Amino acid sequence: MANIWILLLLFLIILLFLVAFKRTNHGQHRQIPSPPGFPIIGNLHQLGALQHQSLWNLSKKYGPVMLLRLGKVPTVVLSSSETAKQALKDNDLHCCSRPPSAGTRELSYNYLDMSSSPYNEYWKELRKLCAQELLSAHKIQSIQPIKDEEDKKVIDTIAESASLKDPVNLSKTFLALTTSVVC
C-alpha cells in the first residue's frame, strides 16, 4: 500500500516538473506578462471577491497588458484606457466577432442569422438588408396604425378595470402590448 502512495507522489512531482518545463520553453517570440497560475484552475485563485481590485493589483505588478488563464481559457486583460483604445483600434475585426459555439451554430442554421453571424461581409450585407427592409422610416410608419390600435385596446382595458375598481397588473399588460405590437 505504501508503494502505491510513493508511486503516486512521484508521478505528481514529475507531472508538475513537466508543466513548469512546458511553461518556460515557449520559443523566441515575445510573451504577454502573466502571473503564475495552477494547472487546472489557472489564475482563478487570484481573483478575490472584488475582481476589479484584484485585477488592478495584478496590473500594478504585471503592467497594463497581462494574460490570465481563467480555468483553461486564456484571457488578455487590458487595464488602461489608452491600451484598450489602441488594442481595439488595431484589432477591431478580431474583437467584434462573436465566439463560435456548437449550440449557437445549431440554433442559427450554421450562423446564418444576424445575431450570431461572425463579423464578415455576409454580416455586413445582412445588416444593410435589415436596416433597409425592416428598420427604415417607411416600414416603421407603415405599422403605426397597428400600434395605435393596440394602444387603444390597452387604454380601454385599463379604463374598464378602473371603472370596475379591479387592480391591473401593468407588467402583464405592457408585456402583452409589446408582444402584440411586435408580432
pLDDT (tens digit, 9 = 90+) per residue, 96-132? 777 788 888 888 888 888 888 888 888 889 989 988 8
Say if residues 68 and 34 touch (Cβ distance below 8 Å): yes
Cell numbers found for residue 55: 485585477
Query: Considering only 7-16, 87-96, 125-134, 162-171, which range has the smallest mean pLDDT?
Result: 7-16
Task: Report which of residues 135 and 16 the model is more confident about.
Answer: 135
Task: Give per-residue pLDDT as tens, 36-47.
Answer: 888 888 888 888
Cell numbers found for residue 11: 508521478
For residue 5, which phi and psi values (nearest 5 degrees)?
-65, -40
Residue 66 β-bridge partners: 77
